[in-house]
Amino acid sequence: MKTLLIAALAFAPLGAICAQPEPEVPKTSGFAPLDYFSAKCARCHGPNGSFYGAKFGKGLKDDAALKDAVKAMCDGPGGAPLEDPQLETLTDFHRALRDGKPYIVAVELKEGTLSGEASPDSKITLESGTKTLDVTTEGNTWSVKVEPDFVWKGAKLRAVKGEVETVIEL
């Protein structure tokens, strides 16, 4: 019995360490879909899909059909197949094009800077509670420096282009 008590006391600090909550971090894609599109797709479909036209994607019955169409283009003419998480992110971009909404994605958080991509000419903000941070944009990329105490729970990115906006939760 003493051995069991000694073992329990010896390993108790490990339990406390293991019980620590994970630090809050935003959901990021790790994939830059607009850079991919520029490199693999724009030669035929125009910068940021500008050659698609107003009817783009309207004849597809649902999002699964849109994803299948994007996959077929990546696997075929694009010559650069994607794994499912990246394919989902690229499909999100195409969904925004189809729906006439600004696109935004968080790509990575590195050394206190959150960065990503968005439809060019969008106004981007990062919001958490009552705090709103203006985001620096250049072309289709954006970045924002965040303080270590920034509260990620409930944080949102907002992209506004003209009268239309897109909001994503991080």
Is pLDDT larger for residue 5 or for residue 145? 145
SS3 track for the chain: CHHHHHHHHHHHHHHHHHCCCCCCCCCCCCCCHHHHHHHHCHHHHCHHHCCCCCCCCCCCCCHHHHHHHHHHHHHCCCCCCCCHHHHHHHHHHHHHHHHCCCCEEEEEEECCEEEEEECCCCEEEEEECCEEEECEEECCEEEEECCCCCCCCCCEEEEEECCEEEEEEC
Residue range 133-138: mean pLDDT, rounded: 95
pLDDT class of 11 with cuts at 50, 70, 90:
low
For residue 101, tell me if it sits in a domain. Answer: yes
Given this model, what pLDDT does residue 54 score? 87
The pLDDT mean for the chain works out to 90
- Judged against a pLDDT cut of 80, whether residue 31 lies above it is answered with yes
Given this model, what pLDDT does residue 65 score? 96
Rounded CA separation 157/124 (Å): 7
Kind of pairing, strands 141-145 and 113-118? antiparallel
For residue 25, tell me if it sits in a domain. Answer: no
Rounded CA separation 119/113 (Å): 20
Given this model, what pLDDT does residue 100 score? 94
Given this model, what pLDDT does residue 119 score? 96
Given this model, what pLDDT does residue 25 score? 86
Given this model, what pLDDT does residue 19 score? 55
Number of domains in the chain: 1
- Judged against a pLDDT cut of 80, whether residue 128 lies above it is answered with yes
For residue 19, tell me if it sits in a domain. Answer: no
For residue 10, tell me if it sits in a domain. Answer: no
Q: Which domain holds residue 115?
A: 33-169
For residue 136, tell me if it sits in a domain. Answer: yes
Given this model, what pLDDT does residue 14 score? 52
CA-atom Rg of the chain in angstroms: 21
For residue 60, tell me if it sits in a domain. Answer: yes
For residue 3, tell me if it sits in a domain. Answer: no
Residue range 96-116: mean pLDDT, rounded: 97
For residue 78, tell me if it sits in a domain. Answer: yes
Given this model, what pLDDT does residue 3 score? 56
- pLDDT tens by residue, 40-88: 999 999 999 999 998 999 899 899 999 999 999 999 988 999 999 999 9
